[in-house]
Structure 1
């Protein structure tokens, strides 16, 4: 009971910090657009509040780490991010996730040009900064703390919903990729991602691989949004896309449940 209360306290503080940092930063953009004809998507000054907002979960994860340092033992923040020793098994799991993403956009959206794939690799540092680093908060703090309060499946679903709601201000920023998607579709994709990244973290115990996978996923979806539609910001949700997303959801849930049950048997 004491551990659950402590986990709830950390969850509460994490959400308070994350939503405050992000929504206040993105509110600056919305106000700038509406009242000052400024901070339009893509302009140089736009990226400052946008980046600060996007780093909300990352900044909050470090604040929680410092605020509740005793829960992390003697583990440094770097160790918290990079986890255990990276062995061959970890690389294999990460490699399979990476290959699956390429297979996903090839099957679902017909993207197979080497130059398109190369563009993801070239832009990977930016994709990490503008998205990937969120994982320090979602998978590093929120998911494991929620699992101490509720079971695995409800926790994954809750993280997916919270993660989606966190993005809501982006629908008020003209030009953002989110404006091209119905929120229901975005919510569905984020819940799938929540299952996938949680499963990846469980099997690798390495947040940085979640960061890389998140960045890689954003890059792949970026290609689906732009390249497969001749530069038009639109996601072609055909039956093949629904199929591959559904496969990913089912496999991630099965692997996540299997890991959770195996761990509970050990203890």
Structure 2
């Protein structure tokens, strides 16, 4: 009988955490030490590269698994052309709607007036709509989702529930973002770590982890990327910065995530688990 070692039992999850956090924290600490803006050279280089920590961690785990000829984790969801990808657009719309609904509710309650003025300026600064959308897709969704959802999430599901897996991943995600509060030019630094906006940003990653996890189970990494992209882009375009609007986004997303998780519990047989199959993403 072969006794599995702890490293083998966790499917490379420990290695993923170590590589992801080491890569990101080393580069972001360099950016902090340079004491410049995240939008100007030379600080922009380690700042941008640091954001790819999760995908680097995913690649390392994938290479290690391939060399050892280990099976794909049981809860890995395969992304392939077909009916499953039809969920991607609804997930994108749902994600954007959570932010838009919260912004409208905030305005109705006396918060900031809904405006695209700063969003248009952001697009102009990026060089147009296409460069803006590409930058929003790469910085965050593509740089992170193959790691957080495509690699860590299915491995966590092997030993715990969806809710716990999502919350554990949310906690790791929140800690991962902390250095950004000390890099000038980031939205986190603008908020400040010890402020209501900083606290609300940190808390916001928990329902986001649940929403992206739900999307991943529906249609794989492509769907989780769509949710991440939809939320980030809508927040940027609507310039969601006030604590009231942030709090309402948090509340709306908690409600939506709770409803989606409840629907999953009521349809257990509907879990799209693809045991021992490869995914169109990094596993």
What is the TM-score when the length of structure 1 is the normalising length?
A: 0.78
User: Where in structure 2 are the equivalents of 1:76-155 lying within 5 Å?
Assistant: 82-83=79-80, 85=82, 86-108=84-106, 109-113=112-116, 116=119, 119=123, 122=130, 123-133=132-142, 134-155=144-165
Count residues in correspondence: 246
- How far does residue 162 in structure 1 lie from its aligned partner after superposition? 0.4
2:278 match: none
- The 1-side partners of 2:113 and 2:214 are apart by 27
2:38 match: 41
Equivalent residue for 1:57, pick from 36, 54, 77 = 54
Equivalent residue for 1:222, pick from 230, 233, 236 = 236
Higher RCO, 1 or 2 (CA under 8 Å, sep at least 6)? 2
What is the TM-score when the length of structure 2 is the normalising length?
A: 0.74
2:258 match: 253
Q: Deviations over 1:113-164 (max 9, x none)?
A: 4994794954111012211121111111111111112222111111111001
1:232 match: none
Equivalent residue for 1:176, pick from 186, 193, 211 = 186
160-169 or 248-257: which moved more? 248-257
- Whether the 8 Å contact between 1:41 and 1:175 is mirrored in structure 2 is yes
**Structure 2 portions without partners, runs of 5+:** 107-111, 274-283
2:243 match: 237
1:76 match: none
- The 1-side partners of 2:88 and 2:6 are apart by 30
- The 1-side partners of 2:21 and 2:229 are apart by 21
Equivalent residue for 1:209, pick from 223, 230, 238 = 223
- How far does residue 59 in structure 1 lie from its aligned partner after superposition? 1.5
Bigger proportion of residues as helix = 1
RMSD (Å), alpha carbons: 3.2
- The 2-side partners of 1:11 and 1:261 are apart by 29
- The 1-side partners of 2:18 and 2:173 are apart by 13
In structure 2, relative to structure 1, the CA distance for the partners of 1:16 and 1:257 (3 Å cut) is: farther
SS of equivalent to 1:130: helix
- Does residue 10 (structure 1) correspond to residue 19 (structure 2)? The answer is no
- The 2-side partners of 1:143 and 1:3 are apart by 20
